[in-house]
Amino acid sequence: MARLVIVSNRVPDQAELAGARAGGLLVGLADALVPGTLWFGWSGRRAEQTSTTTRGMEVNGITYATINLGEGDYQSFYLGFSNGTLWPLFHMMPSLTVFDREQYTVYRKVNKAFAAALLPLLKPGDLIWIHDYQLLGVAAELRVLGVTNRIGFFLHIPFPAPALLEILPPSDEILKAMLANDVIGFHTERDRAHFLGAVEAVLGIGATAHGVLTLDGHVTKVVVTPIGIDADAFTAQAIRASRRVATKRMVESLAGRALMVGVDRLDYTKGLPARLDAYGRFLSTYPEHRRQISFLQVAAPSREEVDRYRALREELNYKTGAINGAYSDFDWVPLRYMNRTVSRSLIAGFYRTARIGLVTPLRDGMNLVAKEYVAAQNAADPGVLILSRFAGAAAGLQEALKVNPIDIDSVAEAINRALIMPLDERQARHVALLERVRAASASVFCQTFTAALTT
Ligand code: ADQ
């Protein structure tokens, strides 16, 4: 079997490999990580200059090869073009999107540096699988260096509607660079349609009925391969977690009240201010539920060097104070807000305890929290998933209560509906959802993508 070479912006560090820290990519790729695999990317460390050679480490037969990023490159490539331009634009938030030509030049330079550092590690027959928006140009740079291996690219975030992509000044260069891949994968049909529409609108290239594009004689197949989790393993983890002292203490602290849980990276795409507003609206509209519910929101710190993220943290602190100030009683706090990373094992216990999982991003590639929440439930007495229709996960989780996250009244209504939902309806929804989460698993994701890449 061909060796798989995974290329991503960040290579997991020791803490992520040990499961102590959040890492969506690691969860989704677990099945592809067989001994012999090579994983190449940034170490997460900054140096004076971006490295030209890699440093290797082997864990369980998998080789992790990393480079460091120069401080200036980190600012322009990572914080700048990747997270200040592509991240908001691809999440369809044009008003938050900034563009700086110099940052884009550095983005291209760093993509080239990734390709150059990877080149000496490649062998004939390797399957190269590149991940995410930071590395849109790596396949094209590898082709310039003469690499003829099969190369695939998977986008973990949404792909914007064509009219939005056209806002990006170098949209033509970026799309052309992407077409140096042999396979391009997206989470949903909507993302794929947006991409094909953008290629048509910007480059004038139409796809065949099977989503095949041809540029200068090179053929690219565009596929939909939604990422998933290992549901059975997560169910087992949640059962173990429910027996832990920490989970028991959490249950005791609820004093018989229903728990609602939200788990996110602290990011403006996750819709957290609107979510807190919706909870405030719920408490004011349904006074009968006051004192009967406790909402735990975990928000892991993320991209803290960026002003917008700092401002978001302040806003959430303020809103938390306002809700608790208005509704708390001496023996009841309506909102528990944890602005820190919590281990997966603890989170699994929170999910299982929670009567409601509240997942309301404004826009999300997939959202694995929705799938984890479903897998963690006790089938005999399952909780209810409230899910934004703008998460990729909504395309595959029909039995969730779907909401538009900016319509805070509809979210408040959904919370009420979930709280009063009879057991038989909760069970029927959960059986169906669990089946869907098990079917669209992490291993199916890896297998379908690598199969498309092989043929
Ligand atoms: P993320 O935006 O990071 O990922 P998501 O898919 O929701 O988001 O979560 C990834 C993992 O991080 C999950 O396993 C979750 O449990 C964990 N996690 C999230 N918040 C956490 C917290 N506060 N504390 C501890 N763990 C936390 C990107 C895209 C998504 C896409 C994934 C995978 O933005 O849309 O689903 O990649 O493709």
Domains in the chain, CATH or no CATH each: 4-228+442-454 (3.40.50.2000), 231-438 (3.40.50.2000)
Q: What is the mean pLDDT of residues 49-56?
A: 94
Q: For residue 103, give both structure tokens.
A: 């940052």
Other CB atoms within a 10 A radius of the CB of residue 422 amount to 8
Strands (E), 235-394: 258-265, 293-300, 335-338, 356-359, 384-388
Measured torsion, CA atoms of residues 103, 108, 109, 112, in degrees rounded to the nearest 10: 160
pLDDT of res. 344: 87
pLDDT of res. 304: 84
**Residue identifier of the C-alpha nearest atom 37 of ligand 1:** 156
**298 CA closest ligand 1 atom index:** 23
Distance 96 CA to ligand 1 centre (A): 21
**Residue identifier of the C-alpha nearest atom 8 of ligand 1:** 367
Mutate to test the pocket of ligand 1, among 6, 352, 358, 367 (most ligand atoms within 8 A of CB): 367
Distance 399 CA to ligand 1 centre (A): 21
**187 CA closest ligand 1 atom index:** 38
Distance 370 CA to ligand 1 centre (A): 10
**Residue identifier of the C-alpha nearest atom 28 of ligand 1:** 156
pLDDT of res. 305: 83
Judge whether 241 and 349 are in contact, CB under 8 Å.
Answer: yes
pLDDT of res. 103: 98
pLDDT of res. 21: 61
pLDDT, tens digit, 9 for 90 and up, residues 280-294: 999 999 999 999 999
**267 CA closest ligand 1 atom index:** 2
Distance 144 CA to ligand 1 centre (A): 34
The Cα–Cα gap between 17 and 389 comes to 32
**158 CA closest ligand 1 atom index:** 35
Q: For residue 207, give both structure tokens.
A: 């796809």
| Torsion-angle region of 67 (φ positive above 0: left; ψ -120 to 50: alpha; else: beta) | beta
Task: For residue 23, name the pLDDT band (cuts at 50, 70, 90).
Answer: low
The Cα–Cα gap between 364 and 383 comes to 22
pLDDT of res. 215: 98
Q: Is the pLDDT of residue 22 over 70?
A: no
pLDDT of res. 439: 97
pLDDT, tens digit, 9 for 90 and up, residues 209-265: 999 999 999 999 999 999 999 999 999 999 999 999 999 999 999 999 999 999 999
Q: Is the pLDDT of residue 57 over 70?
A: yes
Task: For residue 19, name the pLDDT band (cuts at 50, 70, 90).
Answer: low
Share of the chain above pLDDT 90, in %: 91
- pTM value is 0.97
Least confident of 299-303, 413-417, 433-437: 299-303
**Residue identifier of the C-alpha nearest atom 20 of ligand 1:** 264
Task: For residue 106, name the pLDDT band (cuts at 50, 70, 90).
Answer: very high
Q: What is the mean pLDDT of residues 384-395?
A: 98
Name the helix (H) or strand (E) containing 241.
Answer: helix 231-242
Name the helix (H) or strand (E) containing 215.
Answer: strand 212-215
Strand order through the sheet with 127-131: 55-59, 62-70, 38-47, 4-10, 127-131, 151-154, 183-186, 218-224, 212-215
Mean pLDDT score of the chain = 96
Mutate to test the pocket of ligand 1, among 369, 372, 388, 390 (most ligand atoms within 8 A of CB): 369
Share of the chain above pLDDT 70, in %: 99
Residue in 200, 128, 227, 188 with CA at minimum distance from that of residue 447: 227
The alpha carbon of 307 is separated from its chain's Cα centroid by a whole number of angstroms, namely 21
pLDDT of res. 32: 82
Q: What is the mean pLDDT of residues 176-199?
A: 98
Judge whether 281 and 289 are in contact, CB under 8 Å.
Answer: no
pLDDT of res. 27: 80
**Rounded CA Rg of the chain:** 22
**Residue identifier of the C-alpha nearest atom 7 of ligand 1:** 367
Other CB atoms within a 10 A radius of the CB of residue 50 amount to 22
Residue in 311, 309, 275, 269 with CA at minimum distance from that of residue 295: 275
pLDDT of res. 105: 98
Beta-strand pair 38-47/62-70: parallel
Residues 6+ apart with CB under 8 A from 442: 27, 28, 29, 30, 31, 227, 228, 229, 230
Place of tokens 């934004």: 388
Q: What is the mean pLDDT of residues 355-367?
A: 98
Mutate to test the pocket of ligand 1, among 82, 234, 265 (most ligand atoms within 8 A of CB): 265
pLDDT, tens digit, 9 for 90 and up, residues 249-272: 999 999 999 999 999 999 999 999
**Residue identifier of the C-alpha nearest atom 17 of ligand 1:** 22
Amino acid at 240: R
Residues with catalytic function = 156, 364
pLDDT, tens digit, 9 for 90 and up, residues 151-182: 999 999 999 999 999 999 999 999 999 999 99
Geometric angle at alpha carbon 62, from 57 and 63, rounded to 5°: 35
Which residues form the pocket of ligand 1, taking CB atoms under 6 Å from any ligand atom? 22, 24, 27-28, 156-157, 227, 263-265, 298-300, 341-342, 347, 364-369, 372
Task: For residue 30, name the pLDDT band (cuts at 50, 70, 90).
Answer: confident
